[in-house]
Structure 1
Amino acid sequence: MLQIGDFRHICETVSLSVCPLVGDPDGIAPLCYSRNVEIAGILIFQPATVIIYIIALLMTGIMIYHIKSKYTAVGRKEIVMFFYLYMIMTILEMLLISGLIPTATTVYPYFTAAHVGVVSATFWCLLFNGFVGFQFAEDGTPLSLWTIRISSFVVFAAVAFLALATFENIGPFNALKPMPLWIVMFGFNGAALIIYIILQVILVLNTLDDRWPLGDIAFGTVFYAVGQVTLYVLSVRICDTVKHYIDGLFFGTICTLLAVMMVYKYWDSITKEDLEFSVGSKTNVWEVKELLGEEEYPMNQPQHFHGNVDGGYGGYRPY
């Protein structure tokens, strides 16, 4: 039975990166887990999930490229930080879950603490992006950018220190009773996500004429919710059903990726690029006109410029 502050039920259901370090002196092992494979003498855990991690990194790179190509979109520099953090989180999670960093090594707690810190920083960065649309500060300005950078780093450092102190039993923190770490991982992160969703619904309803972005929010929420249910409720059942080939972590990672993709889709749907100042992939076509000779239009004849209705100059012609 799931209890607040208790990792036992969670870790017996799905293998998280913190499970070998909390709840028991020897860690907590899942009741059913995915089969491992040996590649070039290296034992790889969760091989199917590792493939999803690689796909997630590729998809994140593509999304970052498209965000950067929208040169004048609102909140472009702020939202790209979220995807950078998600990419770092995915890399750390892949290294830890796959066993490329073995649990028995002395560096495993440090990498796990960094992973937990990056996860919280990612949720915080997403929450901060939820306020960008309300123009609390002009997007893309040093105030906006450095606020999100410094605050995300502070969240990362604080949560990483809390996690490491819990793993190493530093001060009042205890790996056998990891209540504060549990609250941060599931309480703080969950609250940040819920507040972000509420803010975006308010933003769409109050400031946008188009209601289609609500569909992106709904799909992203559903994907993430299904992933969490798959992780923490159905993982053992899935693992037993498919004979240990995959478990809930496989589907949970897919659903998380889909939710992140819907964050991009939502941001893309509510931002319009100013084409007057954007730099597109297509080259501009300039019309070049030859200067008229002096013999055709004498210098003593008065000549004037006429502007178009849009403020541009349509050409040069005499009266």
Structure 2
Amino acid sequence: MSATPDLSFAFGSFNHICSKVSLTLCPLIGTADGVEPICYSRNVKMFNALIFQPSTLIIHIIALIMTAIMLYHIRSKYTAVGRKEIIMFFYLYILVTILDFLLVSGIIPTSSDVYRHFTGVHLGLISATFWCLLLNGFVGFQFAEDGTPLSLWSIRISSAVVFAAVTFVSIATFTKMSPFDPENPVALWIIFFIFNGAALLIYVILQIVLVVNTLDDRWPLGDIVFGIMFFAAGQVILYVFSVDICDFTKHYIDGLFFGTICTLLSVMMVYKYWDSITKEDLEFSVGSKQNVWEVKELLGEDEVAGGGLYGHAGGHSPAASYGQPNYYEDRY
């Protein structure tokens, strides 16, 4: 029989946190049997199987739908700055949400041998998502032209390296591979809180600097503030008030439910912020149509018939004569 873990807060220990909220890594650390929360959301029986955190799973489904909608709108802004880069962030968030759904619900049971590997992948994806968001914070400064192979592959490769490294550390910790120890997961704690938190903090600072120094409009700062507020509120509810919420609601929901909602809202504010600072060049948008009828009225029918809108008998635009248009003009 394993010893009772010390549930007081300590640097490098998840025991205090896992006693309040059921994170995916909690069954794998602290003791041989993991650390269980004092109070957690009740389960439901569905298709002859127990499904855990049913209310949170509904939020996960909503998150997937909302992310798909955001991706659709991002992809429709063909010439917006950093479009391909920010898309990678939302793809990673989708993968994190799907794995969270499978692990939290018990579809992949904690007793399964593959649970620790899926949890390791889940933690690796979380860190890769924060890292990808951090690198997106540099896109607006144009250290590398966005949409180019240098910009895209630097994010892809470095995010893959972060994913692989964190996944390895996680699985090594869960399997007690020396020098990692599940009863003392200091490295995992540093990655989960300090590394991820630092990536988010640097991203926020970069965006504030970008808005203040580059943009005339200050409204995007509001999107940043709301995003921070939603994320901070979710963390406080998750790690401080989860047990109180669980007791108050008679085990129907816990802090994980509101934490998932706040995370979704903060991700939506990332999209809202990106959308507010990007400007699409409508002249070169795929499928866009200019107000040609207004120009025709000014030129007159004879001029339009003789030379076309651009003064070329063949109807070719000057942009067609010079190859690809300049998508990156007047972005901000």
What TM-score do you get using the length of structure 1 for normalisation?
A: 0.90
Contact 2:20 2:240 in 1 (8 A): yes
1:313 is aligned to 2:323: no
Matched to 2:232, the amino acid is: A
Q: How does 1:145-184 map to 2 (within 5 A)?
A: 145-184=152-191
The residue that corresponds to 1:211 in the other structure is: 218
Q: How much has 1:46 moved relative to structure 2? A: 0.2
The residue that corresponds to 1:241 in the other structure is: 248
SS of the residue aligned with 1:43?
strand
Mapped to 2, the partners of 1:72 and 1:255 lie a distance apart of 30
Give 5+ residue unaligned stretches, structure 1: 290-304
Q: How much has 1:286 moved relative to structure 2? A: 7.0
Matched to 1:137, the amino acid is: A
Q: How much has 1:306 moved relative to structure 2? A: 7.1
Root-mean-square deviation (Å): 2.1
Equivalent residue for 1:113, pick from 111, 120, 126? 120
1:62 is aligned to 2:69: yes
SS of the residue aligned with 1:173?
coil
Q: How much has 1:314 moved relative to structure 2? A: 8.7
Matched to 1:277, the amino acid is: F
Mapped to 1, the partners of 2:286 and 2:254 lie a distance apart of 45
Equivalent residue for 1:192, pick from 177, 191, 199? 199
SS of the residue aligned with 1:276?
helix
SS of the residue aligned with 1:38?
strand
1:40 is aligned to 2:38: no
Q: How much has 1:70 moved relative to structure 2? A: 0.4
Identity of aligned residues (%): 68
Mapped to 1, the partners of 2:216 and 2:291 lie a distance apart of 34
Matched to 1:233, the amino acid is: V
1:250 is aligned to 2:248: no
What is the CA deviation profile of residues 287-307 of structure 1, one whole-angstrom value per residue up to 9, with x for unaligned ones? 7x9xxxxxxxxxxxxxxx779
Matched to 2:224, the amino acid is: I
Mapped to 2, the partners of 1:106 and 1:25 lie a distance apart of 14
SS of the residue aligned with 1:13?
coil
Contact 2:283 2:290 in 1 (8 A): no
Equivalent residue for 1:99, pick from 106, 129, 145? 106
Query: Which runs of at least 4 in structure 1 moved beyond 2 Å after TM superposition?
Result: 282-287, 305-308, 312-316
Matched to 2:262, the amino acid is: C
1:277 is aligned to 2:284: yes
Contact 2:85 2:136 in 1 (8 A): yes
Q: How much has 1:279 moved relative to structure 2? A: 2.0
SS of the residue aligned with 2:267?
helix
Give 5+ residue unaligned stretches, structure 2: 1-7, 297-305, 315-332
Matched length? 298
What TM-score do you get using the length of structure 2 for normalisation?
A: 0.86
Q: How much has 1:136 moved relative to structure 2? A: 0.8
SS of the residue aligned with 1:49?
helix
Mapped to 2, the partners of 1:286 and 1:215 lie a distance apart of 37
Q: How much has 1:283 moved relative to structure 2? A: 5.8
Name the one with the larger helix percent.
2
Contact 2:109 2:115 in 1 (8 A): yes
The residue that corresponds to 2:93 in the other structure is: 86
SS of the residue aligned with 2:45?
strand
